[in-house]
Structure 1
Amino acid sequence: MRGKTSAGVLVALAFLIPAAPAVAQVEPSGLDQACQTADRKVFKDLRTIVTTIDLDTATDTEVRLRANQIMAAARAESLPVLPTVMQQRLDGTADDLRAFLKTDLRSAWLTDLRVSVLRTLTDAGENVQAAAKKALDAGTIDDFLTYLNDGLYAARALDCAAQPTSSPSATPSASASVTPVATASTGPSASSTASTGPSASSTASTGAGASGGEDGEGDGLPVTGAATGTVAGIGGALLLLGGAGYLIGRRRRSRFVA
């Protein structure tokens, strides 16, 4: 009865122990893929969990406790392989679990770390790509952990700092676009002002005509055209009437003398 109770307590502690450091430790902040400040995703060194016991002499309960701690950390870090494999070993015998922790744990974990490094290359900048390539070329657990916990965020900060800012460049372009429009809008008013010139010149010509009419020399000009013909006709008729009267009077005088 005491053995079952102790095993249950150890299994519960397996889930509580990985969570305790996360509560006590404040994770450092860094930049995410969108260059926004966010908490870093910390990848734990799972080797320290296994090395705290001697796998050859540890009890089955102690081995299962370490296995549950490793699986909890692998799930928190979203590792693709280790959580499934670890669950399969926990469902098997104690000897299979012990053998896996001795020999196969590192290879499965190394694969997960490599995949985690490759995930960071999505939409990555030049500095992140260079740092990830360096870690992949080295290919060790220590290089992968150093990149995922520190190198990634240092390289991403350089890439974000090199990105051009869009807000300062937008302001000059807006002001430049407003200036030509304002200048063009003043053009028609200037042309309309210029169009008033002819009216001024016509007024000036009218003024010149008025000043000519005020001179005394305007009345002494000869009258020509239709008025001249009328006067000539009246004068001719008067001459004819005068000649006829002269002839009639002379004829009467001659008769009176005879």
Structure 2
Amino acid sequence: MRRKTAAGVLLALALLTPAAPAAAHAETPVLDASCQTVERKLYKDIRELITIDLDTATEVEMQVVANQILAAARAESLPVLPGAVQDRLDGTADDLRAFLKTGVRAAWTTDLRISALRTLNDDAGANVKAAAQKALDSGTIEDLLAYLNEGLYAARALDCAAQPTPTATATPSATTTAAPVPTSSAGTDTSGGEGGGLPVTGSDIGMVAGVGGALLLLGGAGYVIGRRRRSRFVA
């Protein structure tokens, strides 16, 4: 009973231990496959979690380490390692010890290769493809981790920078107005008399007719008065 209680306490402490450096690194903004700014995904070095001497470690100590590895593998959505760790936790102490010595490394390497292959999608640029292929050809944990944590984002930044800048299509502005077309009256009415005479309007014609009629009336009246004066003088 005391052994189970101690194991439970150790497991709880292991799962609650914060990974401060990893969290700080994950907050560094990077670019995704569509060149949008996102939060960096950091793959933890699982080897750093095995801090005990596996030859002399107790079963409880091995369970604590195995649960730390399981939590990290699930947080990174690794496809192989979580199931493999859980199977050994459900088995014997000897199976768990053997797995922590060699099996963890093999399953984790497979997960890193799968994660690198997933970056080679249709949206991957030339630099990402070259960097991923180089890490996959090497196949070492160091090169795969370096690619997933750093090389991928550096190559993606180069691919995004090399994309052509979209050009805006020229469209008429909503506030643009067409130049006014001169009318016939505007073309003939010029200052100073250049380019043609003054335009004749209806009001001008009426004024001329009125003046002419008045002059005719005055002339007729003068003629009549003159004839009367002459008749009086003769008589």
Q: Please say whether Structure 1 and Structure 2 have the same fold, judged by a TM-score greater than 0.5.
A: yes
Moved over 6 A (4+): none
Q: Does 1:173 align with 2:145?
A: no
- Mapped to 2, the partners of 1:21 and 1:6 lie a distance apart of 26
Return 5+ residue gaps in structure 2 as ranges: 188-235
**Contact 2:22/2:42, CA 8 A, preserved across alignment:** no
**Contact 2:25/2:42, CA 8 A, preserved across alignment:** no
Matched with 1:96 is: 95
1:85-234, aligned counterparts within 5 Å? 85-122=84-121, 123-166=123-166, 169-170=167-168, 173-174=170-171
Q: Which structure has more helix as a fraction of its residues?
A: 1
- Does the C-alpha gap of structure 1 residues 45 and 54 become closer, same or farther in structure 2, counting only changes over 3 Å? same
Offset at residue 41 of structure 1 (A): 0.6
Return 5+ residue gaps in structure 1 as ranges: 197-258
Structure 1 stretch displaced more, 150-159 or 21-30: 21-30
- Does the C-alpha gap of structure 1 residues 85 and 130 become closer, same or farther in structure 2, counting only changes over 3 Å? same
Offset at residue 79 of structure 1 (A): 0.6
CA RMSD of aligned residues (A): 2.7
Give the partner amino acid of 1:129. Answer: K
The normalised TM-score by structure 2 is 0.70
- Does the C-alpha gap of structure 1 residues 54 and 104 become closer, same or farther in structure 2, counting only changes over 3 Å? same
Q: Could you list the per-position Cα deviations for residues 132-171 of structure 1 after superposition, in whole angstroms to 9, with x for gaps in the alignment?
A: 01111111110000000000010011111112232xx21x
Q: Does 1:58 align with 2:57?
A: yes
Rg larger in structure: 1
The normalised TM-score by structure 1 is 0.64
- Mapped to 1, the partners of 2:21 and 2:68 lie a distance apart of 13
Structure 1 stretch displaced more, 73-82 or 8-17: 8-17
- Does the C-alpha gap of structure 1 residues 23 and 151 become closer, same or farther in structure 2, counting only changes over 3 Å? closer
Structure 1 stretch displaced more, 31-40 or 72-81: 31-40
